[in-house]
Structure 1
Amino acid sequence: MQNSLLARYSGAVPRYTSYPTAPHFHEGINPGVYADWLGSITGDQRLSLYLHIPYCDRLCWFCACHTKHTLKYEPITIYLESLKKEIAAVGGLVSQDALVSAVHFGGGSPTMLRPEDLIGLMAALREAFHFAEDVEISVEMDPNDLDEPRYDALAAIGMTRASLGVQDFHPEVQRAINRIQTFDHTKSVVDAVRARGVHSVNCDILYGLPHQTEETLAETVRDILSLAPDRIALFGYAHVPWMKKHQTMIRQEVLPGIEARFAQMNLAARMLVEAGYEPVGIDHFARPTDSMAVAQREGRLRRNFQGYTDDTAEALIGLGASSIGQLPQGYVQNMPATGEYQRMADNGGLAVVRGVAVTDDDRMRRRVIEEIMCRFELSFDALRQEFGTAVEEIVREARAFAQSNQDDICRLDGDRFVVTEAGRPFARTIAAVFDSYLSNGKGRHSIAV
């Protein structure tokens, strides 16, 4: 039964960190449109900021992020000057009464920044935007970048959450993905940030990696659990060499097959739940007291380009090359090419090159997809209260799919559409049923499990 479900529901579908998804962005959303959208943000709205640092001092072959390898610091120095110009330009268009409730430094490797540059970047943000007193500041960290001055700089900018990529501690797996990172080194990072008052630590684990087995993954999970992180993300490796050429360094024949991937996912998830972590959405786990677990229980969990979040901000502003933003009117993306991004930021401040304005139908389907991905169910009554009679076509689609499905991955329960336990691993595939853009063939996606 399990193998037949895998065969039917593990095909390539979007990750649904947005709707419409990124392949449907277009060049009609330009800096002028973006400036208008920013100008409409009101003082009573909350903002979330994402800053992208597109540089690494080593290139991990599994990575699908927009980043480039550099052993010189000069390109980073030049990039930061352009980034500060974009920060100033965007901040000048947004109401100064709008409070920033969250800041996320991603990449690439934000921890490559020199201590003085990290502090200077935060100063530029605080000059351009109005920060809430309880602002959450999270940083993606590469343990190999870190030293005592950098730890102190992270404390100085007020980092509240540290996110560490681990992937797998097994040496053969690490060699195959070009990411050498020992457990002892990782533990030293966790100890150092906690000693400086960081209240939340997240660790990322990947399954489906080259040479990975259930045994090597179980070893990694046990090591991670010994660090007692507050959150754990359990992601499936997305092999997309047509998008990321460096992934061609990973040979297809040493990757686990779909059945092996599914077994790895289930094993790791079971170990995390048995250790007391609560499952959050399709791929996160959190301690019961963590704000993300609380948000899940209270129905406040959300999904955006950073994945699952308990951030309640009405607008996510992306800053830096390739960054994606989400505003009430729609989505925007900055120029991905670093050199061209810098030219645009230096000349006008705004570097948006594409995006999409959302329609009323998009908003309804986005809500449906988010409910499936975050809560594994739809309340038809709640949808009607939010969208009125316009939602009835989507309600009919949900009823028809549940009634026609013979595999018990979803069912109707009164006025609710419910994803069953058997269907939860295939939530992305179920969500895709409500994606009105998917049939046009734009974009290639990773497998759903």
Structure 2
Amino acid sequence: MATVVELRPAVQTSPAAPRGGEAMQTALRAARLPRYTSYPTALQFDAAVGPDQAAAWMRAVPADEPVSIYVHVPFCDTLCWFCGCHTRVVNVRGPIEAYVRSLVAEIEMVAEMLGRRHRVSHLHFGGGSPTILEPGDIDLIFRTLTRAFDIGTDAEIALEIDPRDLDPARLDAWATAGVNRASLGVQDLDPEVQKAINRIQPAEATAQAVRELRARGIHAINIDLVHGLPHQTVEGVIATVDQVLTLAPDRVALFGYAHVPTLKPHQRLVPEHALPGAVERLEQAEAAARRLMAAGYAGIGLDHFARPEDSLAVAQREGRLRRNFQGYTTDTATAILGFGPSAIGDLPGGYVQNTTDVRAWREAIAAGRLGTVRGVAVTADDLLRRAVIERLMCDHAVDVAAVAAGQGRDPAELADALERLAPLEMRGVVVRDGWKLTVPAGMTPDVQRVATCFDVYLNPAVRAMVAAE
């Protein structure tokens, strides 16, 4: 949720993948397409949306609707060179203490704007490394949140974890606060790969973190892996997957590394000569997906895998899977409140994002205004297209007429999308039956191409590429 980079390639979750030149084309296309964790995408955010507009949209959140909360912690104690998140390295307490004070003030400010104590369905701590916080910080933040919001016993409280900076006191504090799902960053367990991305994390550190979490009653475990890193091979990725499977996680996310040093200058430290090519990346993703599914995990959307009994897999089977800035989710809240620098919110009028500059964010909060510096208003047309795109990304199929009817709209308003779909339909990327669209199993890596046909903001050059052979 922290990063607005939307360039990572899709994961192949079907064994029926194209090869050779076709595989190269698929990888190149996917590497440039939006991931549609929002619509309009973050590329459309601009400074026309500021703190006053964000405050007005906050006040428009329906009083009887639950909300989802994302808290961004913008600090790490070491810098991973592959990272695309908004974070900075700190090794002293001062900046963290100042951040916590401002975060508390921001939560209280937003609660006052909302005008009532909303029920919270999902609460997610991301970063950076939320586990850099001390027990006292955690206690203060949760006391503030529980005063401002109704966080029920059925709420999912998720925490992104760096296994390298855990200790018993921090774990106890998070468990006492009610965390019930933990997402552990692993990326890759090969020492050569870890050295190349400046993330030295022995397998035992991850295993110990999992044991400690489960000992404290936190049994819902997610593990994040990355393919396309320097020195990675298909065999190495499979070896990492096999080690991860011994931990029996509930979910595994398999992301593609986005090498964008012009946006993230620290990525210049990544040895470019050791990066796998497009075909190699796709083969790594395919092989990992096959191994996970052979172990009984269900493929979820582009890049997630879950045990059949996990709520994410159940939601997919029942057509209830959702997609937002946190990726695939079961969250049905109609509004997302983002707290902290760079955090993104999804409000009744549109999307909002706080400044990524920690000092500027703190100054805004101290002045009694929101830290919003960019965003985009969402139109009725956007809402219709967003709903269609979400179903495509989640289900790889959509009944456009049914979605339009659910919003009291005429599906003919999306006739432009059907025209753009024609070349993909001719090549079997999508099957159309009237207003019903299905992406066949062997074509699921191309679901983003189908989704782009509904995107009226897409760059013309990218649109031409989507339609090309």
The residue aligned with 2:20 is: 3
Q: Which residue of 2 aligns with 1:84?
A: 104
Trace 1:403-414 onto structure 2 (pairs within 5 A).
405-413=425-433
1:50-449 residue pairs with structure 2 within 5 A?
A: 50-395=70-415, 397-398=417-418, 401-402=421-422, 405-413=425-433, 415-439=435-459
CA distance in 1, matches of 2:47, 2:205: 44
Which amino acid is 1:369 matched to?
Answer: I
Deviation of 1:324 (Å): 0.3
Q: Kindly indicate whether the alpha-carbon contact (under 8 Å) linking 2:99 and 2:362 is maintained by their aligned counterparts in 1.
A: yes
* 3-state SS, counterpart of residue 362 of structure 1: helix
- For 2:355 and 2:420, locate their aligned partners in 1 and report how far apart those are by CA, in whole Å: 41
Task: Read off the aligned partner of 1:3 and give its amino acid letter.
Answer: G
User: CA 1:400–1:349 in 2, change beyond 3 Å: closer, same or farther?
Assistant: closer
Task: Using the TM superposition, name which of 411-420 and 154-163 deviates more.
Answer: 411-420
Amino acid in the other structure paired with 1:409:
V
Q: Distance in 2 between matches of 1:112 and 1:66?
A: 15
C-alpha displacement at 1:19, in angstroms? 0.8
Quote how far apart the aligned CAs of 1:27 are. 1.5
CA contact (8 A) 1:402 1:412 kept: no
Q: Percent identity?
A: 46
How much has 1:429 moved relative to structure 2?
Answer: 2.5
Q: Verify the 8 A CA contact 2:425 2:432 in the aligned structure 1.
A: no
Q: Tell me, what secondary structure is at the counterpart of 2:249? A: coil
Aligned-partner SS, 1:348 = coil
Output the CA distance in 2 between the equivalents of 1:202 and 1:351: 31
CA contact (8 A) 1:364 1:391 kept: no
Q: Distance in 2 between matches of 1:252 and 1:402?
A: 38
Q: Deviations over 1:133-170 (max 9, x none)?
A: 31111100001110110111111111000000100000
Amino acid at match of 1:231: R
Residue 397 of structure 1: how far off its partner (Å): 2.3
Note the C-alpha offset of 1:349.
Answer: 4.2
Separation of aligned partners in 2, 1:387 and 1:43: 21
Q: CA deviation at 1:33?
A: 1.3
Contact kept in structure 2, 1:55 and 1:70, CA below 8 Å:
yes
Distance 2:268 2:420 in 1: 41
Farther-moved stretch of structure 1 (269-278 vs 91-100): 91-100
C-alpha deviations, 1:52-102, integer Å up to 9, x for none?
110000000110000001111211111111111111100111142421111
User: What is the Cα deviation at residue 395 of structure 1?
Assistant: 4.4
Q: Which residue of 1 aligns with 2:15?
A: none
- 2 CA distance for matches of 1:388 and 1:396? 19
- Using the alignment, how far apart are the partners of 2:303 and 2:194 within structure 1? 22
1:171-221: CA deviations, max 9, x gaps?
Answer: 000000100111111000001011111130000011111000011101100
Aligned counterparts of 1:384 and 1:324: Cα–Cα separation in 2: 27
Gaps of 5+ in 1: 443-449
| Offset at residue 413 of structure 1 (A) | 3.5
Residue matched to 2:9: none
SS at match of 1:29: coil
Q: CA RMSD in A?
A: 1.6
- The residue identity in structure 2 corresponding to 1:319 is F
The two structures have a TM-score, normalised by structure 1, of: 0.95
Give 1:415 shift: 4.0
How many residue pairs match? The answer is 442
Letter paired with 1:106: G
Question: C-alpha displacement at 1:339, in angstroms?
Answer: 0.7
Q: Check conservation: 1:88, 1:349, Cα contact below 8 A.
A: no
Contact 1:408–1:422 under 8 Å retained in 2: no
Q: Does 1:39 align with 2:56?
A: no
* Helix, strand or coil at the partner of 2:153: strand
* Residue type at the aligned position of 2:23: L
Provide the C-alpha distance between the structure 2 equivalents of 1:437 and 1:396, rounded to a whole number of angstroms.
Answer: 13
Give the match's secondary structure for 1:422: helix
Q: Matches of 2:102 and 2:426 in 1, distance apart?
A: 55
Which residue does the alignment assign to 2:6?
none
TM-score normalised over the length of structure 2:
0.91
Which residue pairs with 1:25 in the alignment?
A: 45
Residues 321-342 of structure 1 deviation map (CA, whole Å, 9 limit, x = unaligned): 0100001211000011111011
Cα contact 1:26–1:356 (8 A) shared by 2: yes
Gap regions ≥5 residues in structure 2: 1-17, 463-469
Contact in 1 for aligned 2:120/2:155 (Cα 8 Å): yes
